[in-house]
Amino acid sequence: MLNEQPPVPPDARHGIPAFAATYRINLLLALTMFIVDQMLGVLELGSLEALAVLSFVVGLLLIVPCTLVQRYADRDPWGLAIAKGMLIGIIVAIPTSIPSVLLASWGIASAGRGKVIAANDTIDTEGFEIK
């Protein structure tokens, strides 16, 4: 049929933990961008939204460092690192602090993924990785 979905294995993870494990963002990056967005939010409220353009520009400028952190700290391929960097930069560029809460939650939810992967990988006595 046209709308038929492939069967899901019974041990497959679902929901937010599965999304966070698949599309992991660096925890330090997420928390740093959360703090930057909160600081920009305070600046916007203090100026009665007159400096919302500054928040937009800073968010767009943060795309490059976010991409580089994702590429080199989390070892993402370039395409995925650019996509995550753009998403994080756009979230920070929104002139309100509400979306940054989702960004911080996403970073915290994906923080344990590296430990899970390391626990599943083993190294034999000759130094070859076995999966």
Judge whether 98 lies within some domain.
Answer: yes
Judge whether 71 lies within some domain.
Answer: yes
Work out whether the CA dihedral 98, 54, 106, 83 comes out positive or negative: positive
Determine if residue 49 is left, alpha or beta; phi over 0 gives left, psi from -120 to 50 gives alpha, anything else beta.
Answer: left
Residues 55, 92: Cα–Cα separation, whole Å: 8
Q: Is 126 exposed, middle or buried (0-12, 13-18, 19+ CB in 10 A)?
A: exposed
Judge whether 5 lies within some domain.
Answer: no
The pLDDT value recorded for residue 20 is: 73
Total count of domains within the chain: 1
Judge whether 62 lies within some domain.
Answer: yes
Judge whether 128 lies within some domain.
Answer: no
- CB atoms closer than 10 angstroms to residue 25: 24
- pLDDT above 60 (res 131): no
Within 13 Å and on the Cβ side, how many CA atoms surround 15?
Answer: 2
Judge whether 30 lies within some domain.
Answer: yes
Which residues constitute the domain of residue 42?
Answer: 22-119
What are the beta bridge partners of residue 129? 123
Judge whether 10 lies within some domain.
Answer: no
Judge whether 68 lies within some domain.
Answer: yes
CB-based contact 86:25 (threshold 8 Å): no
Kindly report, residue by residue over 4-62, the tens digit of the pLDDT: 766 656 565 667 667 777 788 999 999 999 999 999 999 999 998 889 999 999 999 99
Kindly report, residue by residue over 64-99, the tens digit of the pLDDT: 999 999 999 988 999 999 999 999 999 999 988 889
Q: Is 13 exposed, middle or buried (0-12, 13-18, 19+ CB in 10 A)?
A: exposed
